[in-house]
Amino acid sequence: MNSFSTGQRPNSRDSALIQRRAELSSDSLHPRCLLSIRRFLAGLTLALVCALVLGCGDSGSSSPAVTGVNTQAIATGFNSPLDVEQPNDNSGRLFVVEQGGNIRIIQGGSVLAQPFLNISGKVINNGEMGLLGLIFHPAFSTNRKFYVNYVRNAAGQFQSVIAEYLASSTDPNQADPASERILLTVDQVNNFTNHKAGQLAFGADGFLYFGLGDGGSAGDPLGHGQDTGILLGKMLRIDVNATSPGKQYAIPADNPFAAGGGLPEIYAFGFRNPWRFSFDRPTGRMFVADVGQNNFEEVDLVQKGGNYGWNIMEGAHCFSPPSGCNMSGLSLPIVEISHPESVAVIGGFVYHGTALSGMQGVYIFGDLSGKIWSLTESPANTFTRTLIASPGFSISSFGQDTAGELYVADISGGRVLKIVPK
């Protein structure tokens, strides 16, 4: 899905869905790009491609629809919002990432006129490229550090950039644009504008995690997902609080390939486009939504060193070859959703707020097409998926505040909404 609108916001959810379906019906370059509402289904590949523990998925089945939650708009006027984050600084502010390169602040129910950060001159806003993700350092309230994931054009070469910035020491609602410290650049495939992933998150271990898609086009033609000698198609983990020789960060000593056999930044591999992922706060479990290709979306419980199958598999099914593939050593999804019920999966969070009675400990996630599901685990490693809302707008991302309440970004409508009781 060339999803989240490349440069121009789609006029309507309907047109986005039409474009996404057209993409799926062709063998063109952009088979499923997550948030590109222009080409909508193939999305920023938040749609999981392969995943974890064998035999724990529901194989796409779901319970009858339950209208268990509503969404309530809290701010409007955004241009292709892709991410909603809140620092742990007791300010109550929500920060909204716009694909074109701005980070905006919602404070006291209003959107501040001045962006927190504007790097529109650095990013290339095309297809699934742009400013894709934001995360605040766990010690942001004292060190003022935050991190972004964006795509740039460096003298003709597309690159994913992971960079550190500082908030102003005098104005907490302003970042210092001159403070950029680039931690890592990864060359992308210039011919393709999709599958760049976007999410960043800190784990309970204090390390920074982020995902990169396979680089684009249909079917991972260059085999990036299974190639541990390249960072594309991977979940990555680095230590931003130290440095290793020749790097602007350190390699955690227990990374799977820290001692060799693959690139040391790799935490897990075999992904198509892990657009949105999150950690369950109490347990530390990592839920990754990987946007699928033609037939299946998936959610994975990702573990260190795991191989989540792309492009050998799409969801729990063989992809290349289409039958009889070698599944040895591959981790299967905990949930798989077939098309057209889902078009591009959008990862969410395990709920730990108080507003949604009875939903504590339930994973809440959705789809670009405007559906919100719950995923309940009972017994252990057995997950049941239930439709809890169909708000109908194009969901690009979920957000979570420090109290555990959840939000969604409406990319086509330029809104941020809170998930509230029915």
> Is the previous residue joined to 115 through a cis bond, with omega within 30 degrees of 0?
no
Pick the more confident residue, 274 or 32.
274
Question: 2-421 in CATH: which number?
Answer: 2.120.10.30
pLDDT over 80 (residue 220): yes
pLDDT value at residue 362? 97
- 288 - beta bridge partners? 277, 300
Amino acid at 16: A
Task: With cut-offs at 50, 70 and 90, classify the pLDDT of residue 67.
Answer: low
Give burial (CB, 10 Å; 0-12/13-18/19+) of 113: exposed
Residue 18, Cβ neighbours under 10 Å: how many?
Answer: 14
Q: How far is C-alpha 239 from the geometric centre of its chain's CA atoms?
A: 20
Q: Is the pLDDT of residue 61 over 90?
A: no
Whether the per-residue pLDDT at 216 is higher than 60: the answer is yes
**Residue carrying structure tokens 């707008």:** 393
Q: Is the dihedral of CA 353, 355, 356, 358 positive or negative?
A: positive
Tell me the C-alpha distance between 311 and 308, whole Å: 9
Least confident of 42-46, 116-120, 178-182, 351-355: 42-46
pLDDT band, very low/low/confident/very high, at 121 (cuts 50, 70, 90): very high
Q: For residues 215 and 212, give the distance between their C-alpha atoms in angstroms, rounded to a whole number.
A: 8
CB within 8 Å of 26: residues ≥ 6 apart? none
Which whole number is the average pLDDT over 273-300?
97
Domain ranges of the chain: 2-421
Model confidence, pTM: 0.87
Choose among 343, 398, 364: nearest CA to 43.
343
pLDDT tier, 47 (very low <50, low <70, confident <90, very high otherwise):
very low
Of 411, 418, 303, 410, the C-alpha closest to 351 is 418
Please identify which residue in the block is written with the tokens 């006029």. Answer: 11
Is the separation of the CB atoms in 166 and 144 below 8 Å?
Answer: yes
Q: Residue 27: is its pLDDT beyond 50?
A: no
Hey, CA dihedral for 80, 395, 198, 180, is it positive or negative?
positive
Query: What is the rounded CA–CA span in Å between residue 344 and residue 247?
Result: 35
Written as six digits, the tokens of 189 are 């495939």
